[in-house]
Amino acid sequence: MPELPEVETVRRGLLPAMEGVRITRAELRRDGLRWPFPPDMAARLDGAQIVALRRRSKYLLLDTDRDDTLIIHLGMSGRMIVSGLQANHAPGQFHFDHPPTEKHDHVIFHMENGTRITFNDPRRFGAMDICTTATLDGHKLIAGLGPEPLGNDFSAPYLASRLKGRKMPAKAALLDQRIIAGLGNIYVCEALFRAGISPSRAAGRISAARIESLTTAIRATLLDAIDAGGSSLRDYRQADGELGYFQHAFRVYGREGAPCMTPDCKENIRRIVQSGRSSFYCAQCQR
């Protein structure tokens, strides 16, 4: 499932085609995805201008000039595909050779500038909903989310306060969206390695100094992944169809049995299963 870096990369790829542009028609080619679309969703989007394209956790947020916000979750295999926008994304330079509509193209946004944004999702685990912007923070998908790890509200003192006294493994705590929004399995594994913390260590037994390192590692890992366009393992593609490249920089994730990349470390990367998910780590470098 796409995590924060992948969703942020998609958001940035959509900006030239969507932000400040009017939707001439929102074409819903089925009744819903993970759950039904609101019955008035198309009517609320037809003719609306997108005034801002934001991200919250793993959700894309499209604010319109009608004081509505469209919430989009990519799910396991969802993709936002831009056509009609030249590859160099130069302002005002478009072409209009849209590809033929495919079976799993479930929602198509026809934009006033001639571009087309298609939501394609073979597994239909993605989701869309619309609400008034004023009520967004109370929406069932958004309410209760923790701070953004790249935002000002996320800090070592904050993380220390949320982990204090917790007996759950560090890995599980960092995956809790109520503590930190947007982190998933890949980037938690990578951040824990950078911070030298075992995924099995009790969250409440991480020292203040190591929490400081962990906070820095989380931010650095996410920023590096965004710079690389995210990680393409199965279905994920950027909005222009390109692959992400951060998977080539993985230090532990998916590297079970491979040598640790820390100089002078002679351990191989191990894998354990925690709450049904694989955790990859170095037993020598992470304590």
Quick check: is 58 catalytic? yes
Question: How many angstroms separate the CA atoms of 74 and 64, rounded?
Answer: 20
Quick check: is 266 catalytic? no
179's CB contacts (< 8 A; 6+ apart) are: 146, 159, 162, 163, 173
Quick check: is 277 catalytic? yes
Q: Could you say which of 34, 166, 271, 277 is catalytic?
A: 277
Quick check: is 102 catalytic? no
The two structure tokens encoding residue 46:
């037809």
16's CB contacts (< 8 A; 6+ apart) are: 85, 89, 91
Of 123, 185, 133, 177, nearest to 154 (Cα)? 177
Q: Could you say which of 44, 55, 56, 58 is catalytic?
A: 58
Query: How large is the angle between the packed helices 208-227 and 4-18, nearest 10 degrees?
Result: 40
The two structure tokens encoding residue 122:
């073979």
Q: Could you say which of 2, 147, 149, 199 is catalytic?
A: 2
Q: Could you say which of 3, 6, 8, 190 is catalytic?
A: 3
Of 57, 80, 70, 65, nearest to 187 (Cα)? 57
Catalytic residue set: 2-3, 58, 277
